[in-house]
Amino acid sequence: MSDPKHYDYIVLGAGIVGLSIARELIKREPDAQLLVIEKEDQLGRHASGRNSGVLHSGIYYPEGSLKAKVCRAGAKLMADYCDEYNLPIQHVGKVVVPIREEDDPQVDLLYRRAQANGVHIELIDDKSLKKIEPEARTASGRALYSPDTAIVESLTILNHIKQQLVDHGVLFRYSSRCSNADSERSVVHCDGGSSFGYGHLYNATGAYADRIAKMFGVGTQYTLIPFKGSYYKLRPDADVAIRGLVYPVPNLDVPFLGVHSVKNIKGDTYFGPSAMPALGREHYRGLEGLNISEVVRISWYLLGQLRYNKQGFRKLLREESARMSKSGFASAARNLIPRVKDGMLETCDKVGIRPQLLDTDKRELVMDFLVEGKGNTTHVLNAISPAFTSAFSFADLVVSTSSGHADGF
C-alpha cells in the first residue's frame, strides 16, 4: 500500500471555526499545503449555518475567560471583514432587560463584566429604553444597551471565506467523515478507505469534536450533549415593531441566553432559541438524526444531570419544557415584549443544535471555550456561542498556542 498523501496541515470540519483556523494558517504560511475535510457535501449544514447571525459584543463573559479574551476583538474583525468585502451587516444594537425584579443585580454584574472586557455598554433607565426600543419592558426600571451589536448573514460569510481559501490553494474534501486515526504515524483515515498524513491536525468538528478527540486520546473526561434551539417567527402583519435585538438578563449558571428576539438582514423577526436537550447530534425534528446508541448515551447523562442538579439543571429543564408549546413560547416572548400575542407567532424551519460539552468528572456543563492538544494535534472541544462572533480572534489564539507546543489553553 502506498503512503498516504501528506499535508502540512489538516483541518477537520468546515464550520466557521475550522475555516477561520485554515484562514489563519494560510495568512501565516501562504505556501503551506492545507487540506480541509468536511463530512457534509456543502458548508453550513449545522451550527455555523444555522446560528442567529448575531455578532455579540462580549458583555456576558467573566474577565479572564477565553470568551472574554476573543469575543470583542472577534466581533470587530468579523465586522471589518464584512465591510472590506461588502458582505451584508447591520449594526442594529441590543438591549438586555431584567424580566423579574430579582434579576436587577445581574444588570450591575453584566455592566462590570462589559467594562472589564472593554465593551461599549450603556446602563439605561426605563425612559431611555423606551426611546431605543419602545416595545421592550424592564421589570426593574433599568436595562443595558449595547449599540455595537450587529447582525450578519452566516452562510454568506462561510462561503466567502471558503472561496478565499480555495483561491489561496487550500484543498477541500467534502462528504468525507474521519473514521479512525493513527497518531503515531500522523495519519487520519476517512470513510471509503482514503487516508491522509499531516504535520499538524486541527479538530474543529463541532458536534463530533469529542468523538474525534478520543481517537487521539484527548478529552476523555468530556462528552457532548446536544441542545435543540427552536424559534418562532413574528408574523409580518403583527402590530409590534422591534427595532433591534431584545434579550433577557440570562441565568449565568448555564451557557444559554434565554429566549430573545432575533432579526435577520431581510428584516424578519424571530423569537428563540429554546434550549431543550435533544436526543441526537443532528436531531433537528421528528425522528431525524436519531440512533439507538446515541439516544441511550445522551439519556444516561441527562438523567445524571437531573439527579445531581448541577448548575440548576432541573430548573432549566422545567423552564424549557414549558416552552415546548406555542403558548409557553409566546409567554417567554411577552416577558420581553408585552404586546406579543400567541397568534402573532408562527412556526418556522429555523432550528439549530448547540453541541454543548459536559465534564463527566465534575458533572457540569462547560461554560467556556475549551481547547486541548496532544502531540501534533489540537482539538477544539467546546466551540459554542459566541464562536461565530469570535472565530477570527479565536483562530489566532488557537494557532498561536499550537505553534511549538500543544498543552492546551
Q: In this predicted model, what pLDDT tens digit does every residue of 51-108 receive, in sequence order? A: 999 999 999 999 999 999 999 999 999 999 999 999 999 999 999 999 999 999 999 9
Asked whether residue 407 carries a pLDDT value surpassing 50, the answer given is no
Q: In this predicted model, what pLDDT tens digit does every residue of 233-254 receive, in sequence order? A: 999 999 999 999 999 999 888 8
Asked whether residue 172 carries a pLDDT value surpassing 60, the answer given is yes
pLDDT of the residue at 360: 97
Task: Give the right CATH number for 1-88+152-221+368-409 from 3.50.50.60, 3.40.50.300, 3.40.30.10, 3.30.420.40.
Answer: 3.50.50.60
Examine residue 355 and say whether the peptide bond preceding it is cis (omega within 30 degrees of 0): no
- Average pLDDT of the segment spanning 9-37: 98
406 band by pLDDT with thresholds 50, 70 and 90: very low
Domain ranges of the chain: 1-88+152-221+368-409, 223-236+264-359
Asked whether residue 399 carries a pLDDT value surpassing 70, the answer given is yes
405 band by pLDDT with thresholds 50, 70 and 90: very low
Q: Which pTM value belongs to this model?
A: 0.96
Q: What is the C-alpha to C-alpha distance for residues 111 and 257, in angstroms, rounded to an integer?
A: 16
